[in-house]
Amino acid sequence: MSDPVPNDTVQGYCDPAFSAVREVFERNFAEGREFGAAVAVYAGDRRVVDLWGGTADRRTGREWTADTPCFGFSCTKAVTATAALLLAERGAVDLDAPVTGWWPEFGQRGKEGATGAHLLSHQAGLPAFRRPVTAEEAAGTEARAAELAAQEPEWEPGTAHGYHALTYGWLAGEIVRRNAGTPVGEFVKREFAGDLDLWIGAPDEVIERAAKLTAGRDRRDETGPDTPRAVDDNVLGRLAQAYLDPESPMNRSLNNPHPGKGGFNNPVVLRAGWPSAGMIATARAFGAFYRDLVAGRIISPATLREATRPRVSGPDRTLEVDTAFGLGFMLPAMTFFTPEAGRGSAFGHTGAGGSLGLGDADAGLALAYLPNRMGDQLSGDLRAYRLTEAAYASL
């Protein structure tokens, strides 16, 4: 590791070979794109980047420190999927068999043929609850899973895919709860995150010191002649319209359950640990999760290869752009924009606001980025992409 970065805002350590990552991270702060954030990069087992900076809590002015955890939104899905994959590897569940073998109640209203793989790859046809669900209700894992089991799918499972932004947690999470006898967060802590500052369902002490999300957005155009753009303006306009339409699949999927007062700073949500969007972690710990995943220390390399094989790709019924998924992991597409060097081997998951977890077994790379300033993906927020691009270029 090199000496601490000589910068008033950014602190931490960076291997000189990865100085491009440090430069991008510092520039994001200098240009006003960050409020507080952390990034960690592992090359093999070496932690080559471990940087943080800015303000963790806008209201109090509390600074972001080395051990400040941050909410990761849908980055959580990759951790939940890994728990399910570990159980499958141990023979506790067959992901290609009908769900009804271990969840009999799910086999109603046209869902009899749904498999565990369908649940993990956004093919279940249940992208949203039919009725408004509160944050307090969402804490009832078993009840919400039962509600989805009784619900009619919006398409026959396995015939299409559409991002299950929040319902994913009560579907994929049942693979763990029913076959391990414990909630996802407890299983994750017991099996592969015990030594990591990573929680799905955080204790109050962690919630107290976690970064507070802020809605401040930098709406300047982030594109330029040397910056790739994932989607054109026509697509962006269509996405913005769908997001604002309360009846659209996108709006219904992303906004129900509603987190309640305080949004995703609400302790009710953070304690509950929604398995779709409930992880709190430091970037260092989240990056270590991907480090261990890439190294074969959580699931075998064969299981990981199978999990990162494309199961679905193309038009997404929820997000209205092309997406690609393996078993729980996003693969390079419009929603997981990856530098050319990683487009054949990278996997991971993005999160609302700009967060990212990424692994690449071929490159031996793991990266985690957690900000508390909510970026606006609809206007081309490329903070995570620039960091990823710099990491690949440094290998």
Q: What is the pLDDT of residue 227?
A: 45
Q: How far apart are CA 395 and CA 378, in angstroms?
A: 30
Count CA within 13 A, CB hemisphere, residue 27: 13
Per DSSP bridges, beta strands 312-315 and 10-14 are unpaired
Residue pair 365/372 in contact by the 8 Å Cβ criterion: no
Q: What is the pLDDT of residue 234?
A: 66
Residue 70: which residues within 8 A CB-CB, separation 6 or more?
Answer: 36, 37, 38, 210, 211, 280, 281, 282, 283, 355, 370, 371, 372
Q: What angle do CA 55, 13, 205 make, to 5 degrees?
A: 45
pTM score over 0.85: yes
Q: What are the E-state strand segments in 166-275? A: 198-200
For residue 339, give the nearest of 395, 394, 388 by alpha carbon.
Answer: 388
Residue 158: which residues within 8 A CB-CB, separation 6 or more?
Answer: 113, 114, 115, 118, 123
Per DSSP bridges, beta strands 70-71 and 198-200 are unpaired
Query: From the CA atom positions of the chain, what is the Rg in Å?
Result: 20
Residue pair 195/355 in contact by the 8 Å Cβ criterion: no
Number of residues assigned to the chain:
395
263-267 long-range contacts, CB within 8 A, separation 24+:
263/213, 263/215, 264/71, 264/73, 264/213, 265/71, 265/212, 265/213, 266/135, 267/204, 267/207
Give residue-wise pLDDT tens across range 314-373. Answer: 999 999 999 999 999 999 998 999 999 999 999 999 999 899 999 999 999 999 999 999
Q: Identify the three-state secondary structure at position 78.
A: helix
Q: What is the pLDDT of residue 8?
A: 77
Q: What is the pLDDT of residue 186?
A: 98
Q: Token pair of 92, please? A: 């506790």
Q: What is the pLDDT of residue 293?
A: 98
- Stretch (H or E) spanning 187: helix 184-191
Q: Token pair of 292, please? A: 């261990």
Q: How far apart are CA 230 and CA 196, in angstroms?
A: 33
Each of the 395 residues of the chain gets a pLDDT tens digit; together they read 444 444 579 999 999 999 999 999 999 999 999 999 999 999 999 999 999 999 999 999 999 999 999 999 999 999 999 999 999 999 999 999 999 999 999 999 999 999 999 999 999 999 999 999 999 999 999 999 999 999 999 999 999 999 999 999 999 999 999 999 999 999 999 999 999 999 999 999 999 999 999 986 544 444 443 445 545 556 666 777 777 888 899 999 999 999 999 999 999 999 999 999 999 999 999 999 999 999 999 999 999 999 999 999 999 999 999 999 999 999 999 899 999 999 999 999 999 989 999 999 999 999 999 999 987 654 447 899 999 999 999 99
Q: How far apart are CA 76 and CA 192, in angstroms?
A: 14
The one-letter amino acid code at 200 reads I
Q: How far apart are CA 127 and CA 316, in angstroms?
A: 11
Q: How far apart are CA 264 and CA 154, in angstroms?
A: 27
CATH of region 58-211+229-379: 3.40.710.10
Q: Tokens 């559409």 correspond to what residue?
A: 162
Residue pair 241/223 in contact by the 8 Å Cβ criterion: no
Give residue-wise pLDDT tens across range 37-51. Answer: 999 999 999 999 999
